[in-house]
Amino acid sequence: MPSHGSLTKAGKVRSATPKIEPKPRRSPIPRHKRRVNYLRRFVYAKPAESAGRR
């Protein structure tokens, strides 16, 4: 079975690529954002508020 390139070149590209620092995040991490939404909607919600939505 033919290969898609020689094995002598394997792994060379990543080491040759210059390292770029990540940009600072503007919004919170998605997992954290979901947790904040959950807390706001269900944990800290007032009972009278959520009763009328059903």
Give the tens place of pLDDT for each residue, 5-54.
777 777 888 888 999 998 898 887 889 999 999 999 999 988 765 555 55
Distance from chain centroid for Cα 36: 15
pLDDT at residue 6 in the model: 76
Q: CA 11, CA 5: separation in Å to the nearest integer? A: 12
Is pTM beyond 0.75 here? no
Return contacts of 39-47, CB within 8 angstroms, 24+ apart: none
Radius of gyration of the chain (CA): 25
Name the token pair of 53: 């939505």
